[in-house]
Chain A
């Protein structure tokens, strides 16, 4: 079946094409078609996994050549697909979680007149995401990379009548494109230094290359810039909270489970470069850590529950980057997988709530929803507990491995900061639970539980969020780390730091502290959190505005940019350059207006001039003779 792996992306592409051109005619069937294709793709992906697993560990790489894309002299790039443990893992996440979200969307988008287009874009997204993870060279990866950005743009701005959604879409595209451009330069540099863009050549060559490590630092940092943009890490994270303007399944699929993890995938895929550089690895670690803490605090200040989830995603991605920076690649991918389960689950549950509450997203107007939406409430809480790191849910194992890696890496400061971030994570997510599902109802209207077509995917994802930990019970011997070892390297038994049991215990305590803290403030009823908000309004606003990073960007970058552009366009271009052109024209007009006075129109004047001319010539000739 390995040879048939091309079907996985192509099925989604076919779905996109059909729904784009015939979506209107298909009506309700559009969603079923899109979902069926995704399920089929998932099925093929599973058989691919099966075939791959049959091979011995070191031979688990299969490259499928489709056709030559760009060939100019020594520059050769083909459309090649790479099947190896890492890409298969990603492919399974994309198709598996993707299929569930597609099914869920059938219910969620039922009443939208443009659902054909919606599913076309969703399928198109899946296609590009699959190209991204299956790419065998940087250029195809870049194709998928930009393609998912496009679909993200289309889907964030899906309800384009709302200016705020349209703005968010554009912001997402442009912000990520800034990172992408750095990445493109990085890709160019890879080719110029290593003479190829194929992973098979470049990544193995990187190790044995005689290039100075400085080159790899530059390359790695440029690639990292792309990853930072796409994975919404500080400082290019500003687009993700705004991206919540899209339909909620989009947030689940693109802005939680798959696209935003592309950066993590990229760094994991090219970890060879980062390791040679060393410096770059430290940068990854710092970016991840800063983002994890920053976003977790910002999440605490949000009232819009989709924005909480958005900041939570940023924070969790920060954890993944942190793990990458610690060389715990398998742990990062493990967290990526479990995160895709519980975050998709939470987003979809949030969608359920919005569905029930007429698109209300303000948590101040919720509360006590568990009574009317028991299933949604339960699965959401499972996801939240998983995120908080409560054993034995999936998030506990994955996050614990990341934090343990910090301890084993020997950097105690990083370990402590990561624990702080974990504490805040538990705090904000439980705050969300208490404000939304527990306590006194503050909503109006008649919320109701969602239909089965939405609940079934929720339940399946909840299974993943609960049992996902089984994939990697231990960082060393777990199923997933062992499977990924041929690509990401063996995970060795730690030699330093505390014992795993001790670390786990500390993690659990931190998580429970967070849960308890949230309960004390928002759940117990002993503290008046509304009054607390009022008393610390400044802090609240600071956190809610995401530390005002957006405002700083708009005053420091956007406003001067606009002003500069206006000056160039209206003063420099129209005034100076075109002014110079018109000035030349005016100069000749001025000269002519003097010169034309000679033309009196009187024949005798001309005749006189004639005479003078003749005399002058005679005089000249006379002197010459």
Chain B
């Protein structure tokens, strides 16, 4: 069974687009976070697909890296979101604009 690489890439692109749109339009920090994960996973999918296409492990190794980074990022990001939620009783990103000019 030899699924063409294009299939994987289309799925990956769709996932990435969904993630991007999610980041841009949603207000809840947690949902945005999940959208970011979606983008990362889209990339991972593409990496693994390429790995298979080339017949070596480079892409998979990179995907592992990406997962580790994502995990670390989740830890930090969730901690921040929780901290903000405790402070402001809201996870709405529009309420947090401290880095404004």
Which residues in A have some Cβ–Cβ distance to B below 8 Å? 596-597, 599-604, 607-608, 611
10 A-B pairs with the lowest CB-CB distances in the bound complex, closest first: A601-B100, A601-B97, A596-B101, A599-B101, A601-B99, A607-B23, A602-B97, A603-B93, A604-B24, A608-B24
Q: Known interface pairs A611-B20, A611-B24. Does A604 touch B93 (Cβ–Cβ under 8 Å)?
A: yes
15 A-B residue pairs with CB within 8 Å = A597-B101, A599-B99, A599-B100, A599-B101, A600-B97, A602-B97, A603-B32, A603-B96, A604-B23, A604-B93, A607-B23, A607-B24, A608-B24, A611-B20, A611-B24
A-facing residues in B1-60 (Cβ within 8 Å): 20, 23-25, 32
Is there an interface contact between A602 and B94, defined as CB atoms closer than 8 Å? Answer: yes
Residue of A nearest to B23 (CB): A607
Contacts of A611 in B (CB 8 A): 20, 24
Contacts of A608 in B (CB 8 A): 24
Q: Which of A597, A601, A608, A611 has the most CB of B within 10 A?
A: A601
Is there an interface contact between B23 and A601, defined as CB atoms closer than 8 Å? Answer: no
Residue of B nearest to A607 (CB): B23
Whether B89 is near chain A, meaning CB under 8 Å from some CB there, is: no
Q: Which of A599, A600, A602 has the most CB of B within 10 A?
A: A602
A398 to chain B, nearest CB (A): 89
Q: Could you list 5 further interchain pairs (A-B, Cβ under 8 angstroms) beyond the known A596-B101, A601-B98, A603-B96?
A: A597-B101, A600-B97, A604-B24, A611-B20, A611-B24
Residue of A nearest to B36 (CB): A607
Complex CA–CA separation, A600 to B96 (angstroms)? 10
Complex CA–CA separation, A596 to B23 (angstroms)? 23
B95 to chain A, nearest CB (A): 10
B37 to chain A, nearest CB (A): 15
Q: Known interface pairs A608-B24, A611-B20. Does A600 touch B100 (Cβ–Cβ under 8 Å)?
A: yes
Complex CA–CA separation, A601 to B101 (angstroms)? 7
Complex CA–CA separation, A604 to B99 (angstroms)? 13
B31 to chain A, nearest CB (A): 12
Complex CA–CA separation, A565 to B100 (angstroms)? 48
B30 to chain A, nearest CB (A): 13
A589 to chain B, nearest CB (A): 13
A72 to chain B, nearest CB (A): 61
Contacts of A604 in B (CB 8 A): 23-25, 32, 93
B32 to chain A, nearest CB (A): 8
Contacts of A599 in B (CB 8 A): 99-101
A606 to chain B, nearest CB (A): 9
Contacts of B101 in A (CB 8 A): 596-597, 599, 601
Contact with A along B77-101 (1 / 0, CB 8 A): 0000000000000000110111111
Contacts of A602 in B (CB 8 A): 93-94, 97
Q: How many residues of B contact A (CB 8 A)?
A: 13
Residue of A nearest to B98 (CB): A601
Contacts of B20 in A (CB 8 A): 611
Complex CA–CA separation, A607 to B26 (angstroms)? 12
Residue of A nearest to B95 (CB): A602
Contacts of B24 in A (CB 8 A): 604, 607-608, 611
Complex CA–CA separation, A611 to B101 (angstroms)? 22
B46 to chain A, nearest CB (A): 15
Residue of B nearest to A604 (CB): B24
Complex CA–CA separation, A600 to B93 (angstroms)? 12
Residue of B nearest to A600 (CB): B100
Contacts of A601 in B (CB 8 A): 96-101
Complex CA–CA separation, A525 to B99 (angstroms)? 101
A11 to chain B, nearest CB (A): 79
Contacts of A596 in B (CB 8 A): 101
Complex CA–CA separation, A611 to B21 (angstroms)? 10
Complex CA–CA separation, A243 to B24 (angstroms)? 89
Residue of A nearest to B25 (CB): A604
Contacts of B32 in A (CB 8 A): 603-604
B92 to chain A, nearest CB (A): 11
Complex CA–CA separation, A611 to B20 (angstroms)? 8
Contacts of B23 in A (CB 8 A): 604, 607
Contacts of A607 in B (CB 8 A): 23-24
Complex CA–CA separation, A600 to B101 (angstroms)? 7
A604 to chain B, nearest CB (A): 6
Residue of B nearest to A593 (CB): B101
B17 to chain A, nearest CB (A): 10
Contacts of B94 in A (CB 8 A): 602
Complex CA–CA separation, A127 to B25 (angstroms)? 95
Complex CA–CA separation, A53 to B66 (angstroms)? 111
Residue of A nearest to B27 (CB): A604
Residue of B nearest to A595 (CB): B101
Complex CA–CA separation, A611 to B99 (angstroms)? 20
Contacts of B96 in A (CB 8 A): 601, 603
Complex CA–CA separation, A374 to B23 (angstroms)? 116
Residue of B nearest to A597 (CB): B101
Complex CA–CA separation, A611 to B19 (angstroms)? 12
Contacts of B93 in A (CB 8 A): 602-604
B15 to chain A, nearest CB (A): 16
B96 to chain A, nearest CB (A): 8
Complex CA–CA separation, A599 to B20 (angstroms)? 21
B100 to chain A, nearest CB (A): 3
Q: Which of B32, B94, B101 has the most CB of A within 10 A?
A: B101
A147 to chain B, nearest CB (A): 66
B71 to chain A, nearest CB (A): 21
Residue of A nearest to B35 (CB): A607
